[in-house]
Amino acid sequence: MIVVAAFGLLAMLACLGLQVAASVIGANYFGRTSRLPLGPRPWRKIILQFSVLMLVLMLGSFAQVMIWAVLYQVFGAFDDLETALYFSGVTFTSLGYGDETLIGRIRLLAPLQAATGLMMFGITTALLIAAVQRATAKWAMEQ
C-alpha cells in the first residue's frame, strides 16, 4: 500500500511539473502575442491566441493523463495501453464512467489521480480566465 501511495504521489508531482511547464509556455506565448495590435479584425487574432493557449494546455493535460496510464500499466492494472489511457482520462477529468475499474491496492491511485486532475484543471481555468480578462481589456481599449 505504501509503495502504491508513493508512486501516486510521485505521479502527482510529475503532473504538477507538467502543468507548470504548460502554463508558463502558454502564458508566455499569450503575453507576447497580446502586446501586438489587434488590427482591423481583432476577433481573428484573439481566436488564434486562445486556440494556441488552449492547445498548449490540452497537450499538458494529455501528457499528465499519459503519466497515469503508464503507471497503471506498470502495476498491471490493464491488459493494454489503450484501456489504461481511457481509464486514466476518465479518472483525470473526474468523469468516472465506471466501465473500467481497478482492483486491489492500486485502487488508491484513482482518487489521487482524480484529485490531481481537479487541481490541474483549476490551474488551467485560472489561466484561461486571466487570458480572457486581458484580451477583453485590450479589445475595449483599442475601440
Q: What's the pTM value of the predicted model, to 2 decimals?
A: 0.89
- The pLDDT value recorded for residue 141 is 77
Contact assessment for residue 113 and residue 7, using Cβ atoms and an 8 Å cutoff: no
pLDDT higher than threshold 70 for residue 143: no
Reading the block at residue 95, the C-alpha cell is 468523469
Q: What is the mean pLDDT of the chain?
A: 92
Closest CA to 58 of 50, 70, 68: 50
At 64-98, the pLDDT tens digits run: 999 999 999 999 999 999 999 999 999 999 998 98
Domain ranges, residue 133: 2-142
- The pLDDT assigned to 110 comes to 96
Chain segment 2-45, per-residue pLDDT in tens? 999 999 999 999 999 999 999 999 999 988 988 887 778 878 88
Burial of 40 (0-12, 13-18, 19+ CB in 10 A): exposed
Residue 136 has pLDDT above 80, yes or no: yes
Contacts of 126 (CB under 8 A, 6+ apart): none
CA distance 60 to 18: 6
Query: Which pLDDT belongs to residue 67?
Result: 98
pLDDT at 142 over 90: no
Phi and psi, residue 71, nearest 5°: -60, -45
pLDDT value at residue 77: 96
Residue 138: the pLDDT is 78
Please tell me the total count of domains within the chain. 1
C-alpha dihedral over 93, 94, 98, 103, to 10 degrees?
100
Q: Whole-angstrom Cα distance, residue 107 to residue 138?
A: 48
